Amino acid sequence: NAGVTQTPKFQVLKTGQSMTLQCAQDMNHEYMSWYRQDPGMGLRLIHYSVGAGITDQGEVPNGYNVSRSTTEDFPLRLLSAAPSQTSVYFCASSFFLGLVAGELFFGEGSRLTVL
């Protein structure tokens, strides 16, 4: 009963490096999303997907790319990391029947530090 799995849990990057945060869910959820959590800011939506092949931008999409080739996986890519992307990242998923079903299931988070 894995739920939403994020890897890695911790990562340190240098400015300009690229990396991918992985997110996988085994609940057959159509909807998947990425949030970032910064001190004193709550969580803010980066990108989301309502199904395989469909993605859209959230509140803070700049500097991040996503793709959704399968229902299970929703990776988040940082193409050229910047110190402003130092944050804790959460992946979340839900059923989607024309609208989000009312509860998001979150992964355990990935702490990223960009030096």
95 binds other proteins (CB under 8 A): no
CA atoms within 13 A on the CB side of 85: 27
What is the rounded distance in angstroms from the CA atom of residue 84 to the CA atom of residue 105?
Answer: 26
User: Nearest distance from residue 18's CB to other proteins, in Å?
Assistant: 24
Q: Are 101 and 94 in contact (CB under 8 A)?
A: yes
Comparison of 17 and 88: residue with beta carbon closer to other proteins: 88
Binding residues for other proteins, per CB under 8 A?
Answer: 31, 33, 35, 40-45, 48, 50, 56, 58-59, 88, 90, 92, 96, 98-100, 102-104, 106, 108-109
